[in-house]
A and B are shown apart, each in its own frame.
Chain A
Amino acid sequence: MRMLWAAIAGGLFGLGLIVSGMTNTRKVLGWLDFFGDWDPTLAFVMGGAILPMAAAWAFARRRRPVLGGRFPEANTSGPDRALALGAVLFGMGWGLVGLCPGPALASLSFGGWQGLVFLIAMAAGMYLAPPIKRRLTKPA
Chain B
Amino acid sequence: MMDWMMGLLGGLMIGCAGALYLLVNGRVMGASGIMGGVIDGSGRTVERIAFIAGLIMVPAFVAWMTGWGQTHATSSVGLLVAAGLLVGLGTRIGNGCTSGHGVCGISRLSLRGIVSTVIYIGAGAVTVAALRALGGM
- A and B interact physically: yes
Q: Which residues of A contact B (CB under 8 A)?
A: 2-27, 29, 32-36, 39-57, 59-60, 64-72, 74-75, 77-79, 82-112, 114-115, 117-130, 132-133, 136
Contact with A along B42-76 (1 / 0, CB 8 A): 00001110111111111110111000111111110
Chain B 115-136, CB-CB to A under 8 Å as 1, else 0, gives 1110111111111110110000
For A19, the chain B residues whose CB sits under 8 A away are 6, 9-10, 13, 62
- 6 extra interface residue pairs, beta carbon distance < 8 Å, beyond A56-B107, A93-B88: A12-B20, A24-B70, A89-B94, A91-B126, A102-B31, A125-B89
**Residues in chain B within 8 A of chain A (CB atoms):** 3-29, 31-32, 35-36, 39-40, 46-48, 50-60, 62-64, 68-75, 77, 79-95, 97-99, 101-104, 106-108, 110-112, 115-117, 119-129, 131-132, 137
B interface: dominant SS: helix
CB distance from A60 to the nearest CB of B (A): 6
Select which of A4, A9, A128, A130 is within 8 A of B17 by beta carbon.
Answer: A9
A39 to chain B, nearest CB (A): 8
Given A21-B10, A60-B22: A95 in contact with B54 (beta carbons within 8 A)? no
Known contacts A57-B108, A109-B63, A123-B35, A48 near B55 by CB under 8 Å: no
CB distance from A139 to the nearest CB of B (A): 17
29 sample A-B contacts, Cβ–Cβ < 8 Å, listed by A number: A5-B21, A5-B25, A12-B13, A12-B20, A16-B16, A16-B17, A18-B63, A19-B9, A22-B10, A50-B103, A53-B108, A60-B22, A70-B26, A72-B27, A75-B95, A83-B115, A85-B90, A86-B90, A86-B94, A88-B90, A90-B91, A90-B94, A91-B122, A91-B123, A92-B90, A94-B83, A108-B56, A108-B60, A126-B40
Shortest CB–CB separation between residue A119 and chain B, in angstroms? Answer: 7
**Which of these, B51, B83, B102, contacts A121 with CB under 8 Å?**
B83
Tally the A-B contacts, defined by beta carbons under 8 Å. Answer: 483
Q: Contact between A132 and B59 (Cβ–Cβ < 8 Å)? A: no
A48 to chain B: which residues have CB within 8 Å? Answer: 7-12, 14-15
Q: A99 to B5, alpha carbons, bound, how many Å?
A: 21
Q: How far is the CA of A87 from the CA of B52 in the complex (A)?
A: 23
Closest to B116 in A: A87
Compute how far the CA of A23 lies from the CA of B66 in the bound complex, rounded to whole angstroms.
14
Which A residues are CB-close (under 8 A) to B9? 19-20, 48
Quick one: which of B15, B23, B46, B71 contacts A51, CB cutoff 8 A?
B15
Query: Mostly helix, strand, loop or mixed at chain A's interface?
Result: helix
Say whether A53 contacts B71, CB under 8 Å: no
